[in-house]
Structure 1
């Protein structure tokens, strides 16, 4: 799968939602995410370990609940 900067992804084995912030070659994807809504973390993963997140983002879920 070809990822692009700004995609929301997660590890296939489970992880917090992460944002793609860099791509090295065709197989190394740099991701950033937040721990406890405060501390940013960043790491590089093989593209084969990631899947594109297709569900609603947390802020979208909160907006939908507020409208219900």
Structure 2
């Protein structure tokens, strides 16, 4: 039987620290962003599962989680 780290619970008396919660960026319309593949862009639309970003030459829908994108 194998268990993933996300399904294991942390015991209060454990000598080990729990894994940190992943930080999910929150974006708003007009935020400037940098994407690893597309470069610099501006957020044009935000919904529950993705953001639309205008990178100048093209507008791209970037789904959550935003591993390759950072807010500037």
Coarse TM-score class (shorter-chain normalised): 0.5 to 0.7
Per the normalisation by structure 1, the TM-score is 0.56
Higher relative contact order structure (alpha carbons within 8 Å, sequence separation ≥ 6): 1
Per the normalisation by structure 2, the TM-score is 0.54
Q: Output aligned runs, 1:1-68, within 5 Å.
A: 1-11=25-35, 13-25=36-48, 27-35=49-57, 41-47=58-64, 48-49=66-67, 50-53=69-72
* Number of residue-to-residue matches in the alignment: 46
Q: Is the contact between residue 31 and residue 42 of structure 2 (CA under 8 Å) also seen in structure 1?
A: yes
Say which one has the larger Rg: 2
Which runs of no fewer than 5 residues in structure 1 stay unpaired?
A: 36-40, 54-68
The structural deviation recorded for 1:24 is: 1.7
Which runs of no fewer than 5 residues in structure 2 stay unpaired?
A: 1-24
Higher relative strand content: 1
Give RMSD over aligned pairs.
1.6
